[in-house]
Structure 1
Protein backbone atom coordinates (compact mmCIF):
# COMPACT_ATOMS: atom_id res chain seq x y z
CA UNK A 1 0.00 0.00 0.00
CA UNK A 2 1.36 3.39 -0.99
CA UNK A 3 1.39 6.42 1.29
CA UNK A 4 2.00 10.00 0.14
CA UNK A 5 3.00 13.17 1.99
CA UNK A 6 3.38 16.75 0.74
CA UNK A 7 5.43 19.56 2.26
CA UNK A 8 7.61 22.48 1.07
CA UNK A 9 5.79 22.33 -2.28
CA UNK A 10 7.16 18.83 -2.87
CA UNK A 11 5.75 15.34 -2.40
CA UNK A 12 6.99 11.88 -1.57
CA UNK A 13 5.40 8.43 -1.82
CA UNK A 14 6.52 5.14 -0.32
CA UNK A 15 5.10 1.62 -0.35
CA UNK A 16 4.59 -0.65 2.65
CA UNK A 17 6.12 -3.40 0.50
CA UNK A 18 9.79 -3.09 1.32
CA UNK A 19 9.20 0.42 2.74
CA UNK A 20 10.38 1.46 -0.72
CA UNK A 21 10.44 5.10 -1.75
CA UNK A 22 8.64 5.14 -5.09
CA UNK A 23 8.20 8.83 -5.94
CA UNK A 24 9.71 12.22 -5.18
CA UNK A 25 8.28 15.28 -6.94
CA UNK A 26 10.13 18.60 -6.69
CA UNK A 27 8.74 22.15 -6.40
CA UNK A 28 8.30 22.31 -10.18
CA UNK A 29 6.22 19.14 -10.21
CA UNK A 30 9.03 17.14 -11.80
CA UNK A 31 9.36 13.48 -10.85
CA UNK A 32 12.96 12.75 -9.86
CA UNK A 33 12.83 8.98 -9.31
CA UNK A 34 12.76 6.25 -11.93
CA UNK A 35 9.20 5.12 -12.62
CA UNK A 36 9.99 1.43 -12.25
CA UNK A 37 9.27 0.21 -15.78
CA UNK A 38 8.90 -3.58 -15.31
CA UNK A 39 10.22 -4.25 -18.82
CA UNK A 40 13.56 -2.66 -17.85
CA UNK A 41 13.96 -2.50 -14.06
CA UNK A 42 10.87 -2.59 -11.82
CA UNK A 43 12.49 -0.93 -8.81
CA UNK A 44 12.43 2.65 -7.58
CA UNK A 45 14.59 2.65 -4.44
CA UNK A 46 14.67 -0.83 -2.86
CA UNK A 47 16.32 -1.47 0.50
CA UNK A 48 19.08 -4.09 0.68
CA UNK A 49 19.21 -6.10 3.94
CA UNK A 50 20.72 -8.11 5.60
CA UNK A 51 23.15 -8.66 2.73
CA UNK A 52 24.38 -6.40 -0.07
CA UNK A 53 25.20 -7.92 -3.43
CA UNK A 54 25.47 -11.58 -4.32
CA UNK A 55 26.70 -14.27 -1.90
CA UNK A 56 28.72 -17.35 -2.90
CA UNK A 57 26.36 -20.02 -4.30
CA UNK A 58 23.34 -18.10 -2.95
CA UNK A 59 24.21 -18.95 0.63
CA UNK A 60 26.14 -17.67 3.64
CA UNK A 61 27.34 -19.10 6.93
CA UNK A 62 26.57 -17.78 10.39
CA UNK A 63 28.50 -19.39 13.26
CA UNK A 64 29.42 -22.28 10.99
CA UNK A 65 25.88 -23.05 9.83
CA UNK A 66 24.81 -22.51 6.21
CA UNK A 67 21.71 -20.50 5.28
CA UNK A 68 20.22 -19.80 1.83
CA UNK A 69 19.90 -16.13 0.93
CA UNK A 70 19.24 -14.17 -2.24
CA UNK A 71 21.26 -11.34 -3.73
CA UNK A 72 20.51 -8.10 -1.82
CA UNK A 73 18.61 -9.98 0.87
CA UNK A 74 14.89 -10.27 1.52
CA UNK A 75 13.58 -7.02 3.02
CA UNK A 76 12.65 -5.46 -0.33
CA UNK A 77 9.96 -8.13 -0.62
CA UNK A 78 8.67 -7.91 2.95
CA UNK A 79 5.56 -6.06 4.09
CA UNK A 80 6.31 -3.22 6.51
CA UNK A 81 4.01 -1.45 8.94
CA UNK A 82 3.52 2.30 8.71
CA UNK A 83 4.38 3.23 12.29
CA UNK A 84 3.94 6.99 12.04
CA UNK A 85 3.17 9.61 9.43
CA UNK A 86 3.81 13.33 9.75
CA UNK A 87 3.57 16.29 7.41
CA UNK A 88 7.10 15.65 6.21
CA UNK A 89 7.93 12.01 7.01
CA UNK A 90 6.84 8.38 6.71
CA UNK A 91 8.18 5.92 9.30
CA UNK A 92 7.97 2.17 8.58
CA UNK A 93 9.16 -0.87 10.50
CA UNK A 94 9.37 -4.65 10.13
CA UNK A 95 10.82 -7.38 12.29
CA UNK A 96 12.15 -10.91 12.09
CA UNK A 97 9.76 -13.85 11.78
CA UNK A 98 9.92 -17.56 10.98
CA UNK A 99 10.52 -16.84 7.30
CA UNK A 100 13.43 -14.42 7.79
CA UNK A 101 15.03 -16.74 10.36
CA UNK A 102 15.47 -19.35 7.61
CA UNK A 103 17.97 -17.03 5.92
CA UNK A 104 19.19 -14.80 8.74
CA UNK A 105 19.19 -16.38 12.21
CA UNK A 106 18.76 -13.22 14.28
CA UNK A 107 15.87 -11.42 15.92
CA UNK A 108 15.88 -7.86 14.59
CA UNK A 109 13.71 -4.87 13.84
CA UNK A 110 14.38 -2.60 10.88
CA UNK A 111 13.03 0.95 10.87
CA UNK A 112 13.03 2.98 7.65
CA UNK A 113 12.06 6.65 7.59
CA UNK A 114 11.71 8.81 4.49
CA UNK A 115 11.70 12.55 5.20
CA UNK A 116 10.98 15.51 2.94
CA UNK A 117 13.59 18.27 3.13
CA UNK A 118 13.24 21.80 1.79
CA UNK A 119 15.16 20.84 -1.36
CA UNK A 120 15.11 17.05 -1.41
CA UNK A 121 14.66 14.03 0.83
CA UNK A 122 16.48 11.77 3.26
CA UNK A 123 16.21 8.07 4.01
CA UNK A 124 17.19 6.77 7.44
CA UNK A 125 17.79 3.15 8.43
CA UNK A 126 17.70 2.03 12.06
CA UNK A 127 18.81 -1.56 12.65
CA UNK A 128 17.82 -2.86 16.09
CA UNK A 129 19.31 -6.05 17.53
CA UNK A 130 16.53 -7.82 19.44
CA UNK A 131 18.61 -10.99 19.78
CA UNK A 132 20.80 -12.17 22.66
CA UNK A 133 23.92 -12.32 20.45
CA UNK A 134 25.93 -9.73 18.55
CA UNK A 135 24.28 -9.36 15.13
CA UNK A 136 26.35 -8.88 11.96
CA UNK A 137 24.59 -7.17 9.08
CA UNK A 138 24.93 -5.41 5.77
CA UNK A 139 22.51 -2.76 4.50
CA UNK A 140 22.20 -0.52 1.49
CA UNK A 141 20.04 1.89 -0.44
CA UNK A 142 19.32 1.57 -4.16
CA UNK A 143 17.55 4.79 -5.29
CA UNK A 144 17.18 5.19 -9.03
CA UNK A 145 17.17 8.78 -10.30
CA UNK A 146 15.84 9.90 -13.65
CA UNK A 147 18.67 10.69 -16.00
CA UNK A 148 18.35 12.76 -18.12
CA UNK A 149 16.41 15.20 -15.97
CA UNK A 150 15.96 18.03 -18.48
CA UNK A 151 13.90 18.12 -21.69
CA UNK A 152 15.98 17.38 -24.76
CA UNK A 153 18.97 16.12 -22.77
CA UNK A 154 20.61 12.71 -23.08
CA UNK A 155 22.13 10.35 -20.51
CA UNK A 156 25.60 11.15 -21.86
CA UNK A 157 25.08 14.87 -21.16
CA UNK A 158 25.50 14.11 -17.45
CA UNK A 159 28.47 13.48 -15.20
CA UNK A 160 29.30 12.50 -11.65
CA UNK A 161 31.24 15.12 -9.71
CA UNK A 162 32.77 13.82 -6.49
CA UNK A 163 33.44 15.96 -3.46
CA UNK A 164 37.18 15.15 -3.47
CA UNK A 165 39.75 13.86 -5.98
CA UNK A 166 39.45 10.09 -6.33
CA UNK A 167 41.77 7.25 -7.29
CA UNK A 168 39.16 5.72 -9.59
CA UNK A 169 39.39 2.22 -8.10
CA UNK A 170 36.36 0.00 -8.65
CA UNK A 171 35.61 -3.65 -7.97
CA UNK A 172 35.50 -5.90 -11.05
CA UNK A 173 32.07 -7.53 -11.12
CA UNK A 174 31.08 -7.83 -14.81
CA UNK A 175 28.13 -10.17 -14.31
CA UNK A 176 26.78 -8.41 -11.22
CA UNK A 177 27.52 -11.43 -9.06
CA UNK A 178 30.99 -12.18 -7.61
CA UNK A 179 33.89 -9.72 -7.47
CA UNK A 180 36.99 -10.85 -9.38
CA UNK A 181 39.42 -8.15 -8.32
CA UNK A 182 39.85 -4.41 -8.76
CA UNK A 183 40.75 -2.02 -11.55
CA UNK A 184 41.13 1.71 -12.04
CA UNK A 185 38.49 3.61 -13.96
CA UNK A 186 40.96 5.84 -15.76
CA UNK A 187 38.63 8.78 -16.62
CA UNK A 188 38.23 9.41 -12.87
CA UNK A 189 41.74 8.57 -11.64
CA UNK A 190 43.22 11.59 -9.87
CA UNK A 191 40.19 13.76 -10.60
CA UNK A 192 36.68 14.53 -9.42
CA UNK A 193 34.54 14.10 -12.53
CA UNK A 194 33.31 11.03 -14.38
CA UNK A 195 31.35 11.67 -17.60
CA UNK A 196 28.52 9.17 -17.94
CA UNK A 197 28.41 6.63 -20.76
CA UNK A 198 26.14 3.61 -21.04
CA UNK A 199 29.16 1.64 -22.24
CA UNK A 200 30.61 1.61 -18.71
CA UNK A 201 27.61 -0.37 -17.47
CA UNK A 202 27.45 -2.59 -20.55
CA UNK A 203 31.03 -3.66 -19.86
CA UNK A 204 31.19 -3.59 -16.06
CA UNK A 205 27.59 -3.88 -14.80
CA UNK A 206 27.82 -1.74 -11.64
CA UNK A 207 30.62 0.69 -10.87
CA UNK A 208 31.44 -0.32 -7.29
CA UNK A 209 33.62 2.24 -5.51
CA UNK A 210 35.19 0.65 -2.42
CA UNK A 211 37.80 3.26 -1.46
CA UNK A 212 36.24 6.68 -2.03
CA UNK A 213 37.62 9.73 -0.26
CA UNK A 214 34.29 11.48 -0.90
CA UNK A 215 30.99 11.06 0.87
CA UNK A 216 29.19 13.34 -1.55
CA UNK A 217 28.63 13.07 -5.28
CA UNK A 218 26.65 15.29 -7.66
CA UNK A 219 24.76 13.83 -10.62
CA UNK A 220 24.58 16.89 -12.87
CA UNK A 221 24.17 18.10 -16.45
CA UNK A 222 27.57 19.09 -17.81
CA UNK A 223 26.42 22.52 -19.01
CA UNK A 224 23.54 23.58 -16.77
CA UNK A 225 25.06 22.04 -13.60
CA UNK A 226 21.52 21.09 -12.55
CA UNK A 227 20.80 17.74 -10.98
CA UNK A 228 21.05 15.83 -7.71
CA UNK A 229 23.50 16.13 -4.80
CA UNK A 230 23.81 12.82 -2.99
CA UNK A 231 25.35 12.46 0.50
CA UNK A 232 26.15 9.12 2.11
CA UNK A 233 28.30 9.93 5.15
CA UNK A 234 27.31 6.82 7.11
CA UNK A 235 28.17 4.32 4.37
CA UNK A 236 31.39 2.65 3.19
CA UNK A 237 30.77 1.84 -0.47
CA UNK A 238 29.01 3.54 -3.38
CA UNK A 239 27.52 1.52 -6.20
CA UNK A 240 26.56 3.29 -9.43
CA UNK A 241 24.33 1.32 -11.79
CA UNK A 242 21.89 1.29 -14.65
CA UNK A 243 20.75 -1.87 -16.40
CA UNK A 244 23.40 -3.03 -18.90
CA UNK A 245 22.24 -2.97 -22.51
CA UNK A 246 18.95 -1.23 -21.75
CA UNK A 247 20.04 2.34 -22.56
CA UNK A 248 17.46 3.37 -19.97
CA UNK A 249 16.91 6.88 -18.62
CA UNK A 250 17.92 6.35 -14.99
CA UNK A 251 20.97 6.01 -12.78
CA UNK A 252 21.11 4.39 -9.35
CA UNK A 253 23.33 5.86 -6.64
CA UNK A 254 23.64 3.10 -4.06
CA UNK A 255 25.13 3.70 -0.60
CA UNK A 256 26.25 0.39 0.90
CA UNK A 257 27.47 -1.09 4.14
CA UNK A 258 28.63 -4.38 2.66
CA UNK A 259 29.71 -5.72 -0.71
CA UNK A 260 29.24 -8.54 -3.19
CA UNK A 261 31.14 -11.70 -2.33
CA UNK A 262 34.63 -12.10 -3.78
CA UNK A 263 35.55 -15.16 -5.84
CA UNK A 264 37.10 -17.60 -3.40
CA UNK A 265 35.44 -16.01 -0.38
CA UNK A 266 34.85 -18.42 2.50
CA UNK A 267 31.14 -17.70 2.78
CA UNK A 268 31.41 -16.78 6.46
CA UNK A 269 29.17 -13.74 6.81
CA UNK A 270 31.16 -12.24 9.67
CA UNK A 271 34.27 -12.15 7.45
CA UNK A 272 32.66 -10.28 4.56
CA UNK A 273 34.14 -6.84 3.77
CA UNK A 274 32.45 -3.88 5.47
CA UNK A 275 30.14 -6.01 7.64
CA UNK A 276 29.07 -4.21 10.81
CA UNK A 277 27.95 -5.73 14.10
CA UNK A 278 25.29 -4.34 16.42
CA UNK A 279 25.29 -5.56 20.02
CA UNK A 280 22.24 -7.04 21.77
CA UNK A 281 19.71 -4.40 22.75
CA UNK A 282 21.47 -1.72 20.71
CA UNK A 283 20.81 -0.09 17.34
CA UNK A 284 22.68 1.52 14.46
CA UNK A 285 21.39 4.50 12.46
CA UNK A 286 22.45 5.44 8.94
CA UNK A 287 21.18 8.24 6.71
CA UNK A 288 21.58 9.27 3.08
CA UNK A 289 20.18 12.42 1.47
CA UNK A 290 19.37 13.64 -2.02
CA UNK A 291 19.15 17.39 -2.66
CA UNK A 292 18.01 19.17 -5.81
CA UNK A 293 20.62 21.37 -7.52
CA UNK A 294 19.09 24.20 -9.58
Structure 2
Protein backbone atom coordinates (compact mmCIF):
# COMPACT_ATOMS: atom_id res chain seq x y z
CA UNK A 1 0.00 0.00 0.00
CA UNK A 2 1.17 3.54 -0.78
CA UNK A 3 0.76 6.61 1.40
CA UNK A 4 1.08 10.23 0.29
CA UNK A 5 2.22 13.39 2.03
CA UNK A 6 2.40 16.87 0.55
CA UNK A 7 2.87 20.55 1.27
CA UNK A 8 2.84 23.70 -0.85
CA UNK A 9 6.03 22.64 -2.65
CA UNK A 10 6.30 18.84 -2.80
CA UNK A 11 4.34 15.62 -3.20
CA UNK A 12 5.79 12.37 -1.85
CA UNK A 13 4.68 8.73 -1.94
CA UNK A 14 5.92 5.98 0.38
CA UNK A 15 5.16 2.25 0.38
CA UNK A 16 4.47 0.37 3.57
CA UNK A 17 6.68 -2.44 2.21
CA UNK A 18 10.06 -1.41 3.53
CA UNK A 19 8.63 2.05 4.33
CA UNK A 20 10.23 2.85 0.99
CA UNK A 21 10.17 6.27 -0.67
CA UNK A 22 8.84 5.69 -4.19
CA UNK A 23 7.99 9.13 -5.57
CA UNK A 24 9.24 12.68 -5.10
CA UNK A 25 7.87 15.51 -7.22
CA UNK A 26 7.54 19.24 -7.08
CA UNK A 27 3.91 20.20 -6.87
CA UNK A 28 2.39 21.03 -10.26
CA UNK A 29 5.50 19.69 -12.02
CA UNK A 30 5.57 16.33 -13.81
CA UNK A 31 9.28 15.67 -13.19
CA UNK A 32 9.78 12.50 -11.15
CA UNK A 33 13.03 12.58 -9.18
CA UNK A 34 12.91 9.04 -7.75
CA UNK A 35 13.81 6.04 -9.91
CA UNK A 36 10.61 4.10 -10.59
CA UNK A 37 12.16 0.64 -10.72
CA UNK A 38 12.73 -1.68 -13.65
CA UNK A 39 13.64 -5.36 -13.39
CA UNK A 40 15.95 -4.90 -16.38
CA UNK A 41 18.25 -2.84 -14.14
CA UNK A 42 17.11 -2.67 -10.50
CA UNK A 43 13.57 -2.95 -9.20
CA UNK A 44 13.79 -0.86 -6.03
CA UNK A 45 13.46 2.86 -5.31
CA UNK A 46 15.03 3.86 -1.98
CA UNK A 47 15.33 0.90 0.39
CA UNK A 48 16.35 1.17 4.02
CA UNK A 49 19.47 -0.80 4.97
CA UNK A 50 19.04 -2.45 8.37
CA UNK A 51 20.40 -4.11 10.49
CA UNK A 52 23.48 -4.26 8.24
CA UNK A 53 24.84 -2.11 5.44
CA UNK A 54 26.42 -3.84 2.48
CA UNK A 55 27.36 -7.49 2.20
CA UNK A 56 28.69 -9.91 4.79
CA UNK A 57 31.42 -12.39 3.92
CA UNK A 58 29.61 -15.58 2.91
CA UNK A 59 26.36 -13.79 3.84
CA UNK A 60 26.83 -14.67 7.50
CA UNK A 61 28.05 -13.29 10.83
CA UNK A 62 28.69 -14.67 14.29
CA UNK A 63 27.41 -13.42 17.64
CA UNK A 64 28.02 -15.19 20.98
CA UNK A 65 29.32 -18.32 19.23
CA UNK A 66 26.26 -18.62 17.00
CA UNK A 67 26.33 -18.15 13.23
CA UNK A 68 23.48 -16.25 11.57
CA UNK A 69 22.66 -15.97 7.89
CA UNK A 70 21.79 -12.56 6.44
CA UNK A 71 21.66 -11.26 2.90
CA UNK A 72 23.05 -7.98 1.62
CA UNK A 73 21.67 -4.86 3.34
CA UNK A 74 19.61 -6.83 5.87
CA UNK A 75 15.90 -7.60 6.05
CA UNK A 76 14.03 -4.36 6.86
CA UNK A 77 13.62 -3.38 3.22
CA UNK A 78 11.48 -6.50 2.66
CA UNK A 79 9.24 -6.15 5.73
CA UNK A 80 5.86 -4.44 5.88
CA UNK A 81 5.99 -1.47 8.26
CA UNK A 82 3.00 -0.21 10.24
CA UNK A 83 1.92 3.43 10.06
CA UNK A 84 2.73 4.97 13.44
CA UNK A 85 1.89 8.65 12.80
CA UNK A 86 0.23 10.20 9.74
CA UNK A 87 -0.25 13.90 9.05
CA UNK A 88 -0.57 15.98 5.88
CA UNK A 89 3.15 16.68 5.60
CA UNK A 90 4.60 13.95 7.84
CA UNK A 91 4.37 10.20 8.14
CA UNK A 92 6.22 7.78 10.40
CA UNK A 93 6.40 4.01 10.00
CA UNK A 94 7.30 1.41 12.61
CA UNK A 95 8.87 -2.06 12.43
CA UNK A 96 9.40 -4.36 15.41
CA UNK A 97 11.28 -7.59 15.87
CA UNK A 98 9.34 -10.79 15.29
CA UNK A 99 9.78 -14.55 15.53
CA UNK A 100 10.99 -14.39 11.95
CA UNK A 101 13.60 -11.63 12.46
CA UNK A 102 14.98 -13.30 15.58
CA UNK A 103 16.05 -16.24 13.41
CA UNK A 104 18.45 -13.93 11.55
CA UNK A 105 19.09 -11.21 14.11
CA UNK A 106 19.04 -12.00 17.86
CA UNK A 107 17.99 -8.58 19.14
CA UNK A 108 14.61 -7.10 20.03
CA UNK A 109 14.12 -3.65 18.56
CA UNK A 110 11.80 -0.92 17.40
CA UNK A 111 12.69 0.81 14.13
CA UNK A 112 10.98 4.05 13.11
CA UNK A 113 11.32 5.61 9.66
CA UNK A 114 9.90 9.12 9.26
CA UNK A 115 9.31 11.42 6.31
CA UNK A 116 8.73 15.12 6.91
CA UNK A 117 8.29 17.88 4.33
CA UNK A 118 9.90 21.24 5.09
CA UNK A 119 9.36 23.65 2.19
CA UNK A 120 11.22 22.11 -0.82
CA UNK A 121 13.06 19.60 1.38
CA UNK A 122 12.22 16.07 2.43
CA UNK A 123 13.71 15.04 5.76
CA UNK A 124 14.15 11.30 6.25
CA UNK A 125 14.70 10.25 9.85
CA UNK A 126 15.72 7.02 11.57
CA UNK A 127 15.03 6.03 15.15
CA UNK A 128 16.21 2.72 16.60
CA UNK A 129 15.23 1.58 20.10
CA UNK A 130 16.99 -1.35 21.74
CA UNK A 131 14.32 -3.49 23.42
CA UNK A 132 16.79 -6.26 24.33
CA UNK A 133 18.33 -6.71 27.75
CA UNK A 134 21.80 -6.85 26.22
CA UNK A 135 23.71 -4.39 24.04
CA UNK A 136 22.33 -4.26 20.51
CA UNK A 137 24.63 -4.22 17.47
CA UNK A 138 23.48 -2.81 14.14
CA UNK A 139 24.13 -0.63 11.12
CA UNK A 140 21.64 1.49 9.22
CA UNK A 141 21.73 3.38 5.97
CA UNK A 142 19.88 4.84 3.01
CA UNK A 143 19.80 3.81 -0.65
CA UNK A 144 17.72 6.40 -2.58
CA UNK A 145 17.91 6.11 -6.36
CA UNK A 146 17.35 9.15 -8.55
CA UNK A 147 16.48 9.33 -12.22
CA UNK A 148 19.63 9.96 -14.25
CA UNK A 149 19.06 11.73 -16.48
CA UNK A 150 15.95 13.69 -15.64
CA UNK A 151 13.60 14.38 -18.51
CA UNK A 152 15.10 16.17 -21.53
CA UNK A 153 18.62 16.06 -20.12
CA UNK A 154 21.79 14.37 -21.33
CA UNK A 155 23.39 11.79 -19.06
CA UNK A 156 26.91 13.04 -19.76
CA UNK A 157 26.12 16.55 -18.52
CA UNK A 158 25.73 15.44 -14.90
CA UNK A 159 28.19 15.83 -12.06
CA UNK A 160 28.32 15.62 -8.27
CA UNK A 161 29.38 18.76 -6.47
CA UNK A 162 31.04 18.33 -3.07
CA UNK A 163 31.30 21.60 -1.17
CA UNK A 164 34.90 22.69 -0.37
CA UNK A 165 36.30 19.30 -1.38
CA UNK A 166 39.23 18.65 -3.73
CA UNK A 167 39.57 14.89 -3.42
CA UNK A 168 37.63 11.85 -2.23
CA UNK A 169 39.00 8.92 -0.24
CA UNK A 170 37.56 5.79 -1.80
CA UNK A 171 37.52 2.30 -0.28
CA UNK A 172 37.64 -0.20 -3.19
CA UNK A 173 34.79 -2.71 -3.18
CA UNK A 174 35.66 -6.21 -4.40
CA UNK A 175 33.86 -9.56 -4.58
CA UNK A 176 35.70 -10.58 -1.40
CA UNK A 177 34.79 -7.45 0.55
CA UNK A 178 36.14 -3.95 1.00
CA UNK A 179 39.86 -3.42 0.54
CA UNK A 180 42.07 -1.39 2.90
CA UNK A 181 43.97 -0.10 -0.14
CA UNK A 182 42.39 3.32 -0.25
CA UNK A 183 42.25 5.22 -3.52
CA UNK A 184 42.12 8.97 -4.04
CA UNK A 185 39.70 10.45 -6.57
CA UNK A 186 40.70 13.94 -7.66
CA UNK A 187 37.90 16.44 -8.25
CA UNK A 188 37.70 19.34 -10.68
CA UNK A 189 36.72 22.41 -8.64
CA UNK A 190 34.83 20.21 -6.15
CA UNK A 191 33.07 18.40 -9.03
CA UNK A 192 33.00 14.68 -9.88
CA UNK A 193 31.76 14.24 -13.44
CA UNK A 194 29.59 11.18 -13.96
CA UNK A 195 29.96 8.36 -16.42
CA UNK A 196 29.21 4.65 -16.37
CA UNK A 197 32.92 3.83 -16.13
CA UNK A 198 32.89 5.12 -12.53
CA UNK A 199 30.82 2.10 -11.47
CA UNK A 200 32.57 -0.67 -13.39
CA UNK A 201 33.87 -2.06 -10.07
CA UNK A 202 30.57 -1.58 -8.20
CA UNK A 203 29.80 1.33 -5.86
CA UNK A 204 32.11 4.17 -4.90
CA UNK A 205 32.50 3.83 -1.12
CA UNK A 206 33.67 7.13 0.33
CA UNK A 207 35.18 7.59 3.78
CA UNK A 208 36.34 10.65 5.73
CA UNK A 209 34.23 13.15 3.81
CA UNK A 210 34.38 16.32 5.91
CA UNK A 211 31.56 18.27 4.25
CA UNK A 212 28.41 16.14 4.35
CA UNK A 213 26.58 17.86 1.51
CA UNK A 214 26.40 16.57 -2.06
CA UNK A 215 24.50 18.00 -5.03
CA UNK A 216 23.63 16.23 -8.27
CA UNK A 217 23.66 18.88 -11.01
CA UNK A 218 23.36 19.17 -14.76
CA UNK A 219 25.41 21.74 -16.63
CA UNK A 220 22.55 22.24 -19.11
CA UNK A 221 19.65 22.32 -16.63
CA UNK A 222 18.65 24.30 -13.55
CA UNK A 223 17.18 21.27 -11.77
CA UNK A 224 19.28 19.67 -9.04
CA UNK A 225 19.13 17.22 -6.14
CA UNK A 226 20.89 18.21 -2.92
CA UNK A 227 21.45 15.89 0.00
CA UNK A 228 22.80 16.66 3.45
CA UNK A 229 23.82 13.76 5.68
CA UNK A 230 25.50 15.20 8.77
CA UNK A 231 26.61 12.50 11.20
CA UNK A 232 26.91 9.69 8.66
CA UNK A 233 30.39 8.17 8.48
CA UNK A 234 30.21 6.77 4.96
CA UNK A 235 28.74 7.60 1.58
CA UNK A 236 28.01 5.20 -1.25
CA UNK A 237 27.52 6.29 -4.86
CA UNK A 238 26.22 3.61 -7.20
CA UNK A 239 24.72 2.82 -10.54
CA UNK A 240 24.92 -0.22 -12.78
CA UNK A 241 27.65 0.03 -15.44
CA UNK A 242 25.17 -1.16 -18.07
CA UNK A 243 23.52 2.10 -19.01
CA UNK A 244 21.07 2.07 -16.12
CA UNK A 245 19.13 5.38 -16.03
CA UNK A 246 19.44 5.95 -12.29
CA UNK A 247 22.06 6.88 -9.74
CA UNK A 248 22.04 6.23 -5.99
CA UNK A 249 23.31 8.55 -3.25
CA UNK A 250 23.63 6.49 -0.07
CA UNK A 251 24.48 7.87 3.39
CA UNK A 252 25.53 5.02 5.67
CA UNK A 253 26.03 4.35 9.37
CA UNK A 254 28.04 1.21 8.72
CA UNK A 255 29.78 -0.54 5.88
CA UNK A 256 30.22 -3.94 4.20
CA UNK A 257 32.70 -6.46 5.57
CA UNK A 258 36.37 -5.87 4.86
CA UNK A 259 38.44 -8.56 3.18
CA UNK A 260 39.50 -11.13 5.77
CA UNK A 261 37.06 -10.01 8.47
CA UNK A 262 36.55 -12.65 11.19
CA UNK A 263 32.73 -12.38 10.86
CA UNK A 264 32.26 -11.34 14.49
CA UNK A 265 29.47 -8.76 14.56
CA UNK A 266 30.92 -6.92 17.56
CA UNK A 267 34.21 -6.44 15.66
CA UNK A 268 32.66 -5.30 12.39
CA UNK A 269 33.86 -1.87 11.25
CA UNK A 270 31.21 0.81 11.53
CA UNK A 271 28.92 -1.22 13.77
CA UNK A 272 26.77 0.78 16.21
CA UNK A 273 26.32 -0.34 19.81
CA UNK A 274 23.15 0.51 21.70
CA UNK A 275 22.61 -0.24 25.38
CA UNK A 276 19.35 -1.70 26.67
CA UNK A 277 16.47 0.78 26.11
CA UNK A 278 18.89 3.26 24.54
CA UNK A 279 17.77 5.21 21.45
CA UNK A 280 19.69 6.00 18.26
CA UNK A 281 18.46 8.81 16.01
CA UNK A 282 19.74 10.17 12.71
CA UNK A 283 18.40 11.94 9.63
CA UNK A 284 19.31 13.17 6.16
CA UNK A 285 17.59 15.56 3.78
CA UNK A 286 16.78 15.67 0.08
CA UNK A 287 16.15 19.09 -1.47
CA UNK A 288 14.98 19.61 -5.05
On whether the aligned pair clears a TM of 0.5, the verdict is yes
Q: Which residue of 1 aligns with 2:275?
A: 279
Match of 1:241 among 230, 238, 241: 238
Provide the TM-score with structure 1 as the length reference. 0.93
Q: Which residue of 2 aligns with 1:134?
A: 135
- Helix, strand or coil: the match of 2:185? coil
- C-alpha offsets along residues 194-251 of structure 1, whole Å, 9 cap, x if unaligned? 000111112x210000121121011111244531110011211000001222x12211
- Helix, strand or coil: the match of 1:100? helix
- C-alpha offsets along residues 78-122 of structure 1, whole Å, 9 cap, x if unaligned? 111011110101110010011111111000010001112211311
Work out whether residues 10 and 29 of structure 1, in 8 Å CA contact, stay in contact via their aligned partners in 2.
no
CA distance in 2, matches of 1:132, 1:108: 11
Say how many residue pairs are matched: 287
Provide the TM-score with structure 2 as the length reference. 0.95
Name structure 1 gaps, 5 residues minimum.
none
CA distance in 2, matches of 1:100, 1:191: 46
Are residue 65 (structure 1) and residue 62 (structure 2) matched? no
- C-alpha offsets along residues 155-209 of structure 1, whole Å, 9 cap, x if unaligned? 221111112314322111144x611333424333x8521000111112x210000
Name structure 2 gaps, 5 residues minimum.
none
Q: Which residue of 1 aligns with 2:195?
A: 197
Work out whether residues 208 and 237 of structure 1, in 8 Å CA contact, stay in contact via their aligned partners in 2.
yes
Q: Which residue of 1 aligns with 2:154?
A: 154
CA distance in 1, matches of 2:147, 2:121: 14
Q: Which residue of 2 aligns with 1:13?
A: 13
Are residue 29 (structure 1) and residue 50 (structure 2) matched? no
Q: Which residue of 2 aligns with 1:164?
A: 164
Q: Which residue of 2 aligns with 1:89?
A: 90
